[in-house]
Chain A
Amino acid sequence: AQRVTQPEKLLSVFKGAPVELKCNYSYSGSPELFWYVQYSRQRLQLLLRHISRESIKGFTADLNKGETSFHLKKPFAQEEDSAMYYCALNLYQGAQKLVFGQGTRLTINP
């Protein structure tokens, strides 16, 4: 079954510390993976997609097909990174059917 697992519901780190939000997926095909972020009282928005291999707001994510993981990383956390983060897998290339993980609430402590 296609599934996305985010093992940590809550993650708290200090400002300036490294951050890693874990995401594991289960999918038999070639995965199309995304990280979405939801800041307080804002809509869900795309942070990263694996295919572009870009860095947004200092965050990067590498697809590891061997470990079926797509962990989100940032070397130095900032207070404005506090938000809810969702890992998502698109089941149909060219179409849209996103399977989301349960989300990780990241809190950056000053």
Chain B
Amino acid sequence: KAGVTQTPRYLIKTRGQQVTLSCSPISGHRSVSWYQQTPGQGLQFLFEYFSETQRNKGNFPGRFSGRQFSNSRSEMNVSTLELGDSALYLCASSLGAGLTEAFFGQGTRLTVV
């Protein structure tokens, strides 16, 4: 079966702009979670969506938001970009109940200049 797909793979944005990242989960998976990966902070949890509802949230400012659609696809939005938002953003999908094995996408590399 197809894996988790993230688009785009690479993005370059200017400080102050906003960006939207997309994630298509594995078919049948209802949970989508997002992580930020940086050399300094490592992998940090952003938020999790399940059946179009945000179920868990990490410690990130309100500039980071997300949503999930009825087909379980998810988008993540970052507004008023800062240089420190440069990171690899990973999306993971899982069934959402019972087994919590997370399947990760390849990530979107965001560079803010």
Residues of A within 8 A of B90 (CB): 44
Residues of chain A with a CB closer than 8 A to B64's CB? none
| Other-chain residue from B3, B55, B103, B106 in contact with A95 (beta carbon distance below 8 A) | B55
CA separation between A73 and B80, bound complex, in Å? 44
Q: Is B35 a contact partner of A94 (Cβ separation < 8 A)?
A: no
Known contacts: A44-B90, A100-B43. The answer to whether A95 contacts B48 by CB under 8 A is yes
B101 and A99 contact, CB distance less than 8 A: no
| In the assembled complex, A32 has its CB within 8 A of some CB on chain B | yes
- Looking at the assembled complex, report how far the CB atom of B72 sits from the nearest CB atom of chain A, in whole angstroms: 13
Contact residues in B for A36 (Cβ distance below 8 Å): 104
Q: Taking the nearest CB of chain B, how far is it from the CB of A76, in angstroms?
A: 27
Taking Cβ atoms with an 8 Å cutoff, the residues of A that contact B are 32, 34, 36, 43-46, 49, 86, 90-103
Report 28 cross-chain contacts, Cβ distance below 8 Å, ordered by A residue: A36-B104, A43-B3, A43-B4, A43-B104, A44-B90, A45-B103, A46-B101, A46-B103, A86-B43, A90-B100, A93-B100, A95-B31, A95-B55, A95-B56, A95-B100, A96-B31, A96-B48, A97-B45, A97-B56, A97-B58, A98-B35, A98-B92, A98-B102, A100-B35, A100-B42, A100-B43, A100-B44, A103-B43
| Interface set of B (CB-CB < 8 Å, partner A) | 3-4, 31, 33, 35, 42-45, 48, 50, 55-56, 58, 90, 92, 94, 96-98, 100-107
